[in-house]
A = this chain, B = another copy of it.
Amino acid sequence: MAIAFQPPSSDKAELESGAAFTPRFDEHGLVTAVVTDARDGELLMVAHMNAEALALTIETGIAHYWSRSRKALWKKGETSGNLQTVVELRTDCDQDAVWLKVSVAGHDATCHTGRRSCFYRSVARDGDAARLTTEDDNVRFDPAAVYS
């Protein structure tokens, strides 16, 4: 039996303190998904889910997303082997975002560049611009080989 999400309440108090999970999908039918490593809390990636991806994630315990670039359901790690098992799923006060604490299989890498996290660069001011510094350059798999 598949999960169906009921439409969100227009009552703010119900959204914030009720027991029903009624995700507030945006005009593209998406919620934001923040993904951290259940092991140490490191932020791994930010992605989006439509209702199908969110239901599949809850039903299977494996993270599914909606790829905005490919306009397709995306079972994360299906190609690379870096599947994400969901240890805990949370939602926020107004139910338009979810937080997945995951355990990453395979190379223990989430970014398509081969790094552990997509957030491998810091931002700092440089006069009237901002510059990036690479904080993690440990590439854990060869993207050219994995995605060929």
Q: Give Cα distance in the complex from A119 to B101, angstroms.
A: 12
Q: Give Cα distance in the complex from A29 to B46, angstroms.
A: 18
Q: State whether the Cβ of A1 lies closer than 8 Å to any Cβ in chain B.
A: yes
Q: Give Cα distance in the complex from A101 to B12, angstroms.
A: 28
Q: State whether the Cβ of A62 lies closer than 8 Å to any Cβ in chain B.
A: no
Would B58 and A123 count as touching, CB distance under 8 A? yes
Determine how many copies of this chain the complex contains. 2
Q: State whether the Cβ of A42 lies closer than 8 Å to any Cβ in chain B.
A: yes
Interface positions, chain A 85-101, Cβ under 8 Å from B, are 88-94, 97-99
Q: Give Cα distance in the complex from A9 to B58, angstroms.
A: 37
Would A45 and B89 count as touching, CB distance under 8 A? no
User: Which one of B5, B119, B124 contacts A130 once the chains associate, using CB atoms below 8 Å?
Assistant: B5
Q: State whether the Cβ of A78 lies closer than 8 Å to any Cβ in chain B.
A: no
Closest chain B residue, CB of each to CB of A131? B19
Q: State whether the Cβ of A6 lies closer than 8 Å to any Cβ in chain B.
A: yes
Q: Mark A1-31, 1 if CB is under 8 A from B, else 0.
A: 1111110000000001111110000000000
Q: State whether the Cβ of A72 lies closer than 8 Å to any Cβ in chain B.
A: no
Q: State whether the Cβ of A138 lies closer than 8 Å to any Cβ in chain B.
A: no
